[in-house]
């Protein structure tokens, strides 16, 4: 997509003020294009020139204030206008291309029934693929949409339906919104409607998912109501966009997107097979996250992508908070501590790290790259720390003042800090400088000296990484945990302390206190830092962790342990031993899933080819014990079964489960679990094309098509690898999701001999892939297809070679830089 620079956006905003887009789409024709007739009404500085984003397949006519616009004004990416009047009316009639990459107007045909579905996704700079537009967040306008489509379709947009006549839909004008927030779905979607507190509610999913949508609608609607109520308690401005519709669309690139009035989710969120409670919690969190954006992002929008974090950090923080406070998923902060923060920490320690709030994002390419664990998870963790520091009342008062001042407009970090400072009476500039304007993370290490059985001194040493010398003030909890005579673990004491922005803080309150079996820094997970134990506590982790009741404390301990292994401070073999001891008794499913995912990733890359089989066998044993200890039919049982399937090499047992033999009581081997087993068998060379094809024959669904693509790519067969690689690199007809899943199946640590040539080929072929594919999907494929399991100095040399290429695509450059840094760590850990 054409890049828009910050300077261009600022210049354009100085010239143009947009009133309305009246978009009229005709979606009835066959072929690869649709008709888009758009009237743009905007004010301008008289005599000035400007441009709109516009990527037509074919232009029928263009007029500006009644005069024809010369065809040369449309460059293929932009429409250049000169001689503007004070009041302008641009009328453009054109054919536009459907997409298959999840951006623009995505078209999908469901293999289950041959029906066609469309959804529009204009973020971050794709509005020009549907209509001529001033595509930048601070040029807000009202959207009035009309659609002609097959009469048996459902069409929905941000705006409420004003008129429907057969195959013609006309929607009421929206409030003023940014172009990237204009939304539309069209197709034979199944619909569930409801209402809450005067707000019309609707859910949409493909017809093939109708029975699952119906079955899951009560839970989704209840979460929606609970979240709406909680936001209405916190915020003075009521939900501002009329109806609240939630659509589940095929091959959507994000988890979901916060279009005002019509949120779109990826339709994997309407699962057809059994899922765990933690996956349900994730959906609840996303529902709350997108709803938070209705205020943070949609009502008040960042002026430019510098303040992307204002959108995402707040939505991430409020998503977890509202999920924990208003829904049955009261442990949402445990999941955050375990999963989301690890994502932020990883991103923050890579070469591409950036401040939460960068002072300047130069263009839309850079903005897209900042859509990472820093803008989401680190930002949210930092906000959690801010709330601990300011107090909740001042925090909410400041937010409400901010919304009040900038409703339906745009705002910056300075605006928000001003509102929070006023509400709290505290000057936030110093806090913002070290937490928001400076990249990277501090380490907090417990330093303990003893006097017999008592502490002589407990101190917290704060360090910063090379090149990022900033130390920060932290407010943290400190917990003292002991084994109790009854066999459990009790928290004897917890205190909250302020750590100054200095190297060492002595916790004077603990001098003379009997030494604990385990001293836990950041107990309660209030701050954002890497946590390290004192040696005695570290030695006691394997004994105490399985006995701790508090899931949040366990999550903090697990996260610190995993982080030390990632850093190569502790060997992966020690982690696997801990998993074997502690995982079989872990009751929090989110913790089970994340420990398994993280440990598996470390075993695949940090263990050597010689030590990996034994480590994997121990993981299989751990999941086997967890499975045996789980209640039949429970989420924990399902998580354990999935972990076992992924780790085991016992082909007979897997085949038995497929045939219904030896399946644990209460475990349903349903469609997706069957595919997971076949996937593992394919990796192990025990499921060939016949098995995959036969399963696909039985399962004609969209999920079946995706699983089959992944399984085919996973087979240890030279021809299968060649076909998969060619499809990922060069087959532009393959959709975003099928390409991603093909790439996801490709690399297997079991198949390194076969795959060796593809390490070279990745670096030779990826620039071509970036030309064939675009945006978010291309970035994701470049990540997934990386030879991350080909851990060798040679892979690093190849990466260095590509990074030395002039003119390398910036998205690919960042992917390779970061993946290469992960490889540096893996090599270090192996060495
Ligand atoms: Zn978001």
Q: Where are the beta strands (DSSP E) in 507-603?
A: 518-521, 530-532
Ligand 1 midpoint to CA 261 (Å)? 15
Nearest to 155 by CA among 34, 296, 1: 34
Ligand 1 midpoint to CA 815 (Å)? 21
Ligand 1 midpoint to CA 348 (Å)? 19
663-703: pLDDT as tens digits: 999 999 999 999 999 999 999 999 999 999 999 999 999 99
Ligand 1 midpoint to CA 117 (Å)? 24
Give the CA distances from residue 358 to residues 9, 309, 374, 817, in Å, rounded to whole numbers and listed in that order.
17, 9, 11, 20
Tell me the average pLDDT across 187-192: 98
Ligand 1 midpoint to CA 288 (Å)? 10
Give the CA distances from residue 523 to residues 537, 554, 561, 589, 640, in Å, rounded to whole numbers and listed in that order.
14, 9, 14, 20, 27
Ligand 1 midpoint to CA 768 (Å)? 30
> What is the DSSP-derived secondary structure letter of residue 241?
S
So what's the pLDDT on residue 365? 86
Ligand 1 midpoint to CA 442 (Å)? 26
Ligand 1 midpoint to CA 716 (Å)? 38
Cβ-in-10-Å burial (0-12, 13-18, 19+) of 151 comes to exposed
Given strand 190-196, what is the order of strands in its sheet?
190-196, 199-205, 244-249, 262-266, 256-257
So what's the pLDDT on residue 374? 96
Q: How confident is the model at residue 1 (pLDDT cuts 50, 70, 90)?
A: low
204-259: pLDDT as tens digits: 999 999 999 999 999 999 999 999 999 999 999 999 999 999 999 999 999 999 99
561-584: pLDDT as tens digits: 999 999 999 999 999 999 999 999
Examine the pLDDT at 19 and tell me if it is beyond 80: yes
Within a 10 A sphere around the Cβ of 453, how many other Cβ atoms? 7
Query: Using an 8 Å Cβ cutoff, are 37 and 57 in contact?
Result: no
Ligand 1 midpoint to CA 291 (Å)? 9
Q: By percentage, how much of the chain surpasses pLDDT 90?
A: 96
Ligand 1 midpoint to CA 124 (Å)? 13
How many angstroms from the chain centroid is the CA of residue 669? 28
441-478: pLDDT as tens digits: 999 999 999 999 999 999 999 999 999 999 999 999 99
Ligand 1 midpoint to CA 257 (Å)? 7
Ligand 1 midpoint to CA 356 (Å)? 15
| DSSP for 578-641, written as a single string | HHHHHGGG---HHHHHHHHHHHHHHHHHHS-TTTHHHHHHHHHHHHHHHHHHSPTT-HHHHHHH
Tell me the average pLDDT across 390-404: 97
Q: How confident is the model at residue 541 (pLDDT cuts 50, 70, 90)?
A: very high
Ligand 1 midpoint to CA 90 (Å)? 33
So what's the pLDDT on residue 370? 86
Ligand 1 midpoint to CA 122 (Å)? 15
Q: How confident is the model at residue 359 (pLDDT cuts 50, 70, 90)?
A: confident
Residue numbers annotated as active site: 290
So what's the pLDDT on residue 2? 74
- The verdict on whether omega for the bond into residue 124 sits within 30 degrees of 0, i.e. cis, is yes
| Rounded Cα gap, residues 553 and 732, in angstroms | 47
Query: Using an 8 Å Cβ cutoff, are 94 and 102 in contact?
Result: no
Ligand 1 midpoint to CA 177 (Å)? 16
Ligand 1 midpoint to CA 576 (Å)? 34
So what's the pLDDT on residue 831? 86
Element (H, E) at 286: helix 277-295
CB under 5 Å of ion ligand 1: residues: 312, 315
Token pair for residue 507? 């916790």
Q: How confident is the model at residue 782 (pLDDT cuts 50, 70, 90)?
A: very high
How many angstroms from the chain centroid is the CA of residue 215? 26
């Amino acid at each position: 997509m054409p890049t828009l620079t910050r300077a261009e956006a600022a210049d354009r905003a100085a010239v143009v003020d947009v009133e309305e887009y009246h978009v009229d789409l005709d979606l009835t024709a066959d072929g690869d294009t649709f008709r888009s007739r758009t009237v743009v009404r905007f004010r301008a500085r008289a005599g000035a020139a400007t441009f709109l984003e516009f990527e037509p397949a074919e232009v029928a006519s263009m007029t500006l204030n009644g005069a024809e616009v010369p065809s040369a004004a449309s460059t293929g990416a932009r429409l250049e206008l000169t001689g503007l009047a004070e009041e302008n009316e641009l009328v453009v009639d054109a054919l536009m291309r459907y997409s298959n990459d999840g951006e623009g107007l995505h078209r999908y045909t469901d293999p289950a029934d041959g029906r066609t579905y469309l959804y529009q996704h204009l973020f971050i700079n794709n509005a020009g693929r549907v209509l001529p537009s001033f595509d930048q967040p601070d040029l807000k306008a009202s959207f009035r949409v009309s659609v002609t489509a097959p009469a048996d379709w459902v069409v929905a947009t941000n705006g409420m339906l004003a008129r429907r006549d057969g195959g013609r839909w006309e929607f009421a004008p929206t409030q003023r919104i940014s172009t990237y927030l204009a939304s539309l779905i069209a197709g034979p979607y199944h619909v569930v409607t409801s209402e809450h507190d005067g707000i019309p509610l609707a859910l949409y999913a493909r017809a093939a998912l109708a029975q699952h949508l119906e079955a899951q609608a009560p839970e989704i609607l209840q979460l929606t109501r609970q979240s709406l109520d909680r936001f209405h308690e916190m915020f003075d401005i009521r939900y501002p966009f009329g109806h609240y519709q939630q659509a589940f669309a095929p091959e959507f690139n994000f988890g979901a997107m916060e279009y005002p009035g019509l949120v779109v989710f990826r339709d994997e969120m309407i699962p057809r097979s059994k899922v765990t409670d933690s996956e349900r919690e994730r959906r609840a969190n996303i529902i709350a996250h997108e709803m938070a954006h209705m205020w943070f992002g949609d009502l008040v929008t960042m002026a430019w992508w510098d303040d992307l974090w204002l959108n995402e950090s707040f939505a991430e923080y409020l998503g977890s908070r509202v999920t924990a406070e208003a829904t049955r998923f009261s442990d949402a902060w445990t999941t955050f501590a375990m999963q989301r923060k690890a994502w932020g920490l990883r991103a923050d320690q890579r070469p591409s790290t950036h401040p939460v709030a960068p002072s300047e994002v130069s263009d839309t390419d850079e903005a897209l790259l900042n859509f990472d664990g820093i803008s989401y998870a680190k930002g949210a963790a930092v906000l959690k720390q801010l709330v601990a520091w300011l107090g909740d009342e001042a925090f909410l008062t400041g937010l409400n003042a901010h919304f009040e001042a900038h409703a339906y407009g745009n705002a910056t970090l300075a605006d928000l800090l001003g509102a929070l400072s006023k509400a709290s009476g505290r000057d936030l500039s110093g806090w913002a400088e070290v937490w928001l304007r400076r990249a990277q993370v501090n380490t907090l290490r417990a330093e303990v000296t003893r006097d017999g059985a008592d502490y002589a001194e407990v101190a917290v040493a704060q360090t910063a990484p090379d090149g990022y010398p900033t130390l920060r003030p932290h407010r943290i909890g400190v917990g003292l945990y002991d084994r109790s005579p009854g066999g459990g673990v009790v928290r004897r004491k917890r205190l909250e302390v302020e750590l100054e922005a200095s190297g060492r803080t002595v916790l004077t309150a603990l001098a003379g206190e009997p030494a604990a079996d385990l001293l836990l820094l950041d107990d309660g997970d209030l701050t954002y830092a890497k946590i390290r134990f004192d040696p005695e506590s570290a030695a006691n982790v394997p004994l105490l962790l399985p006995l701790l009741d508090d899931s949040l404390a366990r999550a903090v301990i697990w996260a610190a342990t995993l982080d030390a292994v990632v850093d190569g401070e502790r060997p992966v073999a020690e982690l696997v031993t801990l998993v074997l001891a502690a995982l079989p008794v872990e009751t929090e499913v989110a913790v089970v899933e994340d420990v398994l995912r993280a440990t598996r990733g470390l075993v695949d890359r940090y263990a050597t080819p010689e030590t990996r089989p034994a480590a994997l066998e121990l993981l299989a044993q751990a999941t086997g014990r967890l499975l045996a200890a789980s209640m039949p039919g429970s989420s924990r049982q399902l998580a354990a079964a999935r972990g076992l399937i992924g780790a085991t090499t016992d082909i007979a047992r897997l085949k038995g489960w497929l045939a219904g033999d030896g399946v644990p009581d209460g475990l349903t081997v349903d469609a997706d679990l069957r595919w997971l087993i076949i996937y593992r068998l394919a990796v192990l060379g025990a499921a060939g094309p016949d098995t995959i094809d036969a399963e696909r024959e039985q399962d004609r669904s969209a999920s079946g098509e995706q699983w089959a693509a992944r399984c085919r790519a996973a087979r240890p067969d030279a021809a299968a690898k060649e076909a998969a690689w060619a499809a990922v690199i060069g087959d532009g007809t393959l959709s975003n999701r099928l390409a991603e899943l093909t790439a996801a199946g490709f690399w297997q640590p079991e198949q390194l001999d076969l795959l060796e040539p593809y390490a070279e080929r990745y670096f030779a072929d990826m620039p071509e892939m970036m030309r064939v594919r675009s945006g978010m999907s291309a970035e994701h494929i470049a990540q997934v297809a990386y030879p991350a399991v080909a851990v060798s100095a040679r892979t690093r040399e190849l990466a260095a070679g590509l990074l030395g290429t002039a003119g390398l695509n910036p998205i690919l450059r960042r992917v390779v830089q970061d993946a290469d840094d992960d490889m540096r760590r893996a090599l270090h850990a192996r060495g």
